Amino acid sequence: MRSLTRGHVKAGFDSVRGAKWRNFWTMLGIIIGVASVITIVSIGEGVKQQISQQINHVGKNVITVRPGTIRTNSTQSKSDFSVLSGLSITGSLRDTDVKTVADNKTISASAPLAAVSTDVKGDHATFNNTFVIGTSPDLPELINQKLAYGVFLSVDDEGMNAAVLGTTIASQLFDTDVPLGHSFKIHGEEFVVRGIFDDFGSTPLSDDANYNNSIFIPYDVAQRITKNTAVVYEILAKTESASAVSPTLSSLQKSIKKNHGDQNDFSVLRAEQSLAARSNVLSLLTNLISGVAAISLLVGGIGIMNVMLVSVAERMHEIGIRKAIGATNRQIMSQFMIESSLLSLSGGVIGVIVALIFDGLMRFFTNLRPVISWQVVLLAFGVSLAVGIIFGTIPALKAARKDPIEALRSQL
Amino acid sequence: MALIELNEVSKVYGFGDASTLALDEATLTIEKGEFVAIMGPSGSGKSTLMNVIGLLDRPSHGKFSLDGRNVAKLRPNQSAKVRRDTIGFIFQSFNLLPRLSVLENVALPLAYRGVSLSKRLKQASNMLERVGIQNREYFLPSQLSGGQAQCAAIARALVNNPKLIIADEPTGNLDSAASRLVMELLAEIHKTGNTILFVTHNPELTRYATRVVYMHDGCIIHDEKTALGQVAATARKVLYTLSTTTEDDDLAGVSALMMALPNKPTVRPARKPTKRRTAKPTVRRKSKTAKAAK
Ligand SMILES: Nc1ncnc2c1ncn2[C@@H]1O[C@H](COP(=O)(O)OP(=O)(O)OP(=O)(O)O)[C@@H](O)[C@H]1O
Ligand SMILES: [Mg+2]
């Protein structure tokens, strides 16, 4: 029986090859379905891995305070997007919140991030899309980021026009490679460069990448030059130990709520939560693309059913011959089932190849790092095989149940 | 015990006003080792009889036992297995699978039996050697001549070592030389103990048969034993009395056949000399009309 199956597989390949173009269009649905399933799963997997790397990088005992409420439920898409952009704010954090966090006893380090919208004047040009962020000396420790040159803002710099630059903006503002001690203008005021950050590794769906294009100045200076209109979009804080995170979270929650007049228009998040919020966007996207994939697999399956029905009709005479020389209904059935499975499996293989190409393109053109695991490839093959079997059943049954005489009589 | 026993077997096609009685209470017993020719005009039910005996079709009424087993009411899968194990089919239009090589075609019945690949290819190759076209093993059916294709089909019919071989107009698409080749081959197979049933419109081919069954309107109207090498008596009568175009063509075909058989001790009917000259073109016309009639 096994060698017969091998014969069927060979015959199946022959007939799949025989009608190349027709079969290609038939497989298209499967190809699209499989490729999109693999792509989205691999993106999700990649983001998950990057996020967990980030958590390890930043540390588990970092607490983030953000304006607006964040529901870590994937169906609440609205707040997800506000988290993504970071700056579109529903509530707001205040100066008092910054103090509250800094004064908390269990917090060892904290830094506000306040956005200053202003223009920056360098050696040659004026930039008006640069991020100027007012923050405190603890920032490098909180985001676990080293400086390439110089030092970060210190406590002594409070009230001084000192700045630390991201790598991108540093090279754009100045002609020299290492512009330590050089000065430039923010909001018409002269600032001196104290240090330059290392490159911020870019991660998907986060605004860390922007830090390469950011200028960090002391928080109080930021408030001064904007006349207290700098928007605090995040406060980062770190507890001494990981065990202190939970009590600190609730005490912060309580005290900030008091600041806000008993309103819950802010969120206090642990590291996992603040990063997971990002993946909510992804899960929305995943649902969407999974829907597309399911539909294209369905369409692909129907296409396969059609092509198999045509194939069965075209090969009635052959079926008659096979039955005359002793093929049982089951043997005819399995012949056509194998053929439809091969057809959809080939679609699956092509889909995997397409997904691999997508993967390469994404790695090249975006900061996404999709991870194609063997499990998802196996799943794709399984799904396409299942589609072939499910949608091949009706045509195969039709072939198997055909009366031999009628089949023999039908002409090509 | 007879190999085939038909008892008042009928086959009705369609129903109501449109029904056709293709077989009308046919009763027929065929012993093991017989070489039976079935003759009769077009539409007389010869193919229907072959299909019923070959278990491709189920009789509407009557009893039918094959090799001692009642097979009138077998389920499709069971009859497929009986076909596979005990019957070899030879068709007028060869019916080889166009996408398989000659060797694979011949090996196919073994595949349905579950024989391993190497074994079945070997057996198929032996069978092709037996029918004399082993050098065409890897050809596609479309690359064979009609005679070679029919030889391959015979090899396929034989490969499962069937008790019964059923050939519905095996020479219908062949010229006289190829017809002779095919009939000689069948005669040889018959000698090894096989039972063969074949349908023919050509009375001359009854020479090969040990028995001739005549059909008309679904009934078996005459049944005679005949000596090998002799045209059956009734068939000969048909040859002279019914001088239709078809019979004429048959005669011409036979004359060509006989030319190719110079050494055979045969009892030949006297023929008008003009037939000899027109032999070849008429043969071709015959095969055309036969196809057109299908
Ligand atoms: N599937 C069918 N449906 C209806 N009628 C049929 C069917 N098959 C055969 N018949 C009828 O049964 C009768 C016998 O047909 P059959 O094919 O057995 O004749 P035959 O003797 O083989 O003729 P020929 O010499 O032309 O091959 C014919 O009248 C034919 O019309
Ligand atoms: Mg017929």
Query: Which ligand lies nearest to the CA atom of residue B38 in the structure?
Result: 1
Element of type H or E holding B61: strand B61-66
Across chain B, mean pLDDT equals: 83
Residue A412, pLDDT score: 57
What's the pLDDT tens digit per position in B237-267? 765 554 444 555 555 655 555 554 445 444 4
Q: Between these two residues, A329 and A288, which has the higher pLDDT value?
A: A329
In this complex, is the C-beta atom of A405 within 8 Å of any C-beta atom belonging to chain B? yes
pLDDT class of B85 with cuts at 50, 70, 90:
very high
Please give the average per-residue pLDDT across A160-173, as a whole number: 86
CB of B234 within 8 A of CB of B242?
no
What's the pLDDT tens digit per position in B208-227? 999 999 999 999 998 989 88
Residue B29, pLDDT score: 95
Instruction: Kindly tell me if the per-residue pLDDT of B25 is higher than 60.
Output: yes
List of long-range contacts for A11-18, beta carbons under 8 Å, 24+ apart:
A11/A335, A11/A339, A11/B99, A11/B100, A12/A335, A12/A338, A12/A339, A12/A341, A12/A342, A12/A343, A13/A342, A14/B99, A15/A311, A15/A339, A15/B99, A16/A339, A16/A342, A16/A343, A16/A346, A18/B99
By mean pLDDT, which of A237-251, A361-375, B197-211, B278-292 is the weakest?
B278-292
Q: Between these two residues, B104 and A246, which has the higher pLDDT value?
A: B104
Please give the average per-residue pLDDT across A278-289, as a whole number: 72
Distance B16 CA to ligand 2 centre (A): 24
3-state SS assignment for residue A224: helix
**How far is Cα A197 from Cα A143, in angstroms, rounded to an integer?**
12
**How far is Cα A355 from Cα A35, in angstroms, rounded to an integer?**
5
Instruction: Kindly tell me if the per-residue pLDDT of A14 is higher than 80.
Output: no
Residue B240, pLDDT score: 57
ipTM: 0.80
What's the pLDDT tens digit per position in A97-144? 888 888 888 888 888 988 887 788 877 777 777 788 899 888 888 887
Residue for token pair 């799949």: A16
**How far is Cα B53 from Cα B48, in angstroms, rounded to an integer?**
9
pLDDT class of B27 with cuts at 50, 70, 90:
very high
Q: What is the CA radius of gyration of chain B?
A: 19
3-state SS assignment for residue B60: coil
Q: What percent of chain B has pLDDT over 70?
A: 81
- Smallest Cβ distance to B56: which of A7, A317, A404? A404
Please give the average per-residue pLDDT across A336-350, as a whole number: 91
pLDDT class of A369 with cuts at 50, 70, 90:
confident
**How far is Cα B128 from Cα A175, in angstroms, rounded to an integer?**
87
> And the tokens for A386?
């299942």
Residues 6 or more apart whose CB falls under 8 angstroms from that of A44 comprise A279, A282, A283, A286
Please give the average per-residue pLDDT across B102-106, as a whole number: 94
Distance B94 CA to ligand 2 centre (A): 14
Query: Which ligand lies nearest to the CA atom of residue A405 in the structure?
Result: 1
Residue for token pair 């005949």: B226
Instruction: Kindly tell me if the per-residue pLDDT of A215 is higher than 80.
Output: yes
For residue B67, what are the CA distances in angstroms to A40, A404, B71?
A: 64, 22, 9
By mean pLDDT, which of A124-133, B57-66, B192-201, B251-260 is the weakest?
B251-260
Which 3-state string (H, E, C) describes B238-272? HHHHCCCHHHHHHHHHHHHHHHCCCCCCCCCCCCC
DSSP class of A60: T
pLDDT class of B275 with cuts at 50, 70, 90:
very low
Instruction: Kindly tell me if the per-residue pLDDT of A308 is higher than 50.
Output: yes
**How far is Cα B253 from Cα A40, in angstroms, rounded to an integer?**
72
Residue A394, pLDDT score: 95
Across chain A, mean pLDDT equals: 81
- Ligand 1 neighbourhood includes B243 CB (under 6 angstroms): no
For residue A244, what are the CA distances in angstroms to A234, A250, A270?
A: 20, 10, 11
Residue B129, pLDDT score: 93
pLDDT class of A398 with cuts at 50, 70, 90:
very high
**How far is Cα A269 from Cα A277, in angstroms, rounded to an integer?**
10
Instruction: Kindly tell me if the per-residue pLDDT of A239 is higher than 60.
Output: yes
Please give the average per-residue pLDDT across B41-47, as a whole number: 92
Interface residues of B toward A, Cβ cutoff 8 Å, are 51, 54, 56-57, 76-77, 80-81, 83-85, 89, 91, 95-97, 99-100, 104, 108-109, 111-117, 120, 156, 160
Whether residues A7 and B56 touch (CB distance < 8 A) is answered with no
Residue A78, pLDDT score: 39
Residue B278, pLDDT score: 40
Please give the average per-residue pLDDT across B54-76, as a whole number: 92
Domains detected in chain B: 32-62+75-241 (3.40.50.300)
In this complex, is the C-beta atom of A321 within 8 Å of any C-beta atom belonging to chain B? yes
pLDDT class of A69 with cuts at 50, 70, 90:
low
Q: Which residue of chain B comes nearest to A319, CA vs CA?
A: B97
Q: Give the closest-approach CA distance of B291 to chain A in angstroms.
A: 13
Instruction: Kindly tell me if the per-residue pLDDT of A372 is higher than 90.
Output: no
**How far is Cα B286 from Cα B290, in angstroms, rounded to an integer?**
6
pLDDT class of A173 with cuts at 50, 70, 90:
confident
Torsion of CA B239, B240, B241, B246, to 10 degrees: 50
Residue B253, pLDDT score: 55
DSSP string, A109-156: EEEEEEEE---EE-SS-EESS-EEEEE-TTHHHHHT--EEEE----GG
Please give the average per-residue pLDDT across A136-160, as a whole number: 85
Instruction: Kindly tell me if the per-residue pLDDT of B9 is higher than 70.
Output: yes
CB of B92 within 8 A of CB of B169?
yes
Which 3-state string (H, E, C) describes A162-205? EEEECHHHHHHHCCCCCCCCCEEEECCEEEEEEEEECCCCCCCC
pLDDT class of A244 with cuts at 50, 70, 90:
confident
Residue B169, pLDDT score: 92
Q: Give the closest-approach CA distance of A4 to chain B in angstroms.
A: 5
CB of A127 within 8 A of CB of A168?
no
